[in-house]
Chain A
Amino acid sequence: SQTIHQWPATLVQPVGSPLSLECTVEGTSNPNLYWYRQAAGRGLQLLFYSVGIGQISSEVPQNLSASRPQDRQFILSSKKLLLSDSGFYLCAWSYYRTSGRANEQFFGPGTRLTVL
């Protein structure tokens, strides 16, 4: 069966510090990978998605970047955190889309980031 891991689970960082969040998927190959951010309370915003190694698409301009160094590894980074980067960061995966059919997305447990 497939599983998705994220770490760390929680993180408290000062403004201006760097960030690295990691997501890995097990039990499948060539997944689509996604990073979402959820602001306090509710609302999920798509930040990045990837259809393959080294292929990253950004949905919104921001202080963050993403990389996919391996097939089942997705990393979210920042060189200098802002207060507004606080939130719940969720990684998700789906099977690679075939025949024009979108696929169910499975979410990881999330990382709660607080920037002070």
Chain B
Amino acid sequence: GENVEQHPSTLSVQEGDSAVIKCTYSDSASNYFPWYKQELGKRPQLIIDIRSNVGEKKDQRIAVTLNKTAKHFSLHITETQPEDSAVYFCAASSPGGGADGLTFGKGTHLIIQP
């Protein structure tokens, strides 16, 4: 099955600086890579996703890059703000059986220092 590794487990950055979170996956058949943000005690919320036919995607201060050859993808947050503090999860979806259960990384606790 799929295996997703996520680094770092904790990331502390100054407000206004950029944050980068990296993930690798093992199944070359995986073709969908979402990123979720989870605030304490709440459900994960999708913030951006990318499919295997695209190398980069941006949405305002958030961008995701995908390197299919190396099987890794990254989340970039620019001009970080206090409300960006949360746990971020990457995930990968392997096709099969008509459903797409996600395999998640273990999460990155992003701390924005004022």
Contacts and interface: CB of A to CB of B under 8 A. Distances in A.
Best-buried of A44, A59, A110 by chain B (most CB within 10 Å) = A44
Given A42-B107, A43-B104, A90-B43, A101 B99 contact: no
A66 interface: no
Contacts of A51: 97-99
Best-buried of B46, B101, B103 by chain A (most CB within 10 Å) = B101
Binding site secondary structure of chain B: strand
A103 B10 CA distance: 28
A100 interface: yes
A32 B103 contact: no
A46 B98 contact: no
Contact of B44 (A90, A96, A103): A90
Given A42-B87, A42-B107, A43-B106, A32 B98 contact: yes
Interface residues of B, number: 27
A101 B51 contact: yes
Given A44-B44, A104-B46, A57 B95 contact: no
B102 A105 contact: yes
A96 B99 CA distance: 7
Interface string A84-112: 00000010001011001111111111100
A74 interface: no
A59 B97 CA distance: 12
Contacts of A110: 42-43
Interface of B: 31-32, 34, 36, 42-46, 49, 51, 87, 89, 91, 93, 95, 97-104, 106-107, 109
Interface of A: 32, 34, 42-46, 49-51, 57, 59, 90, 94, 96-97, 100-110
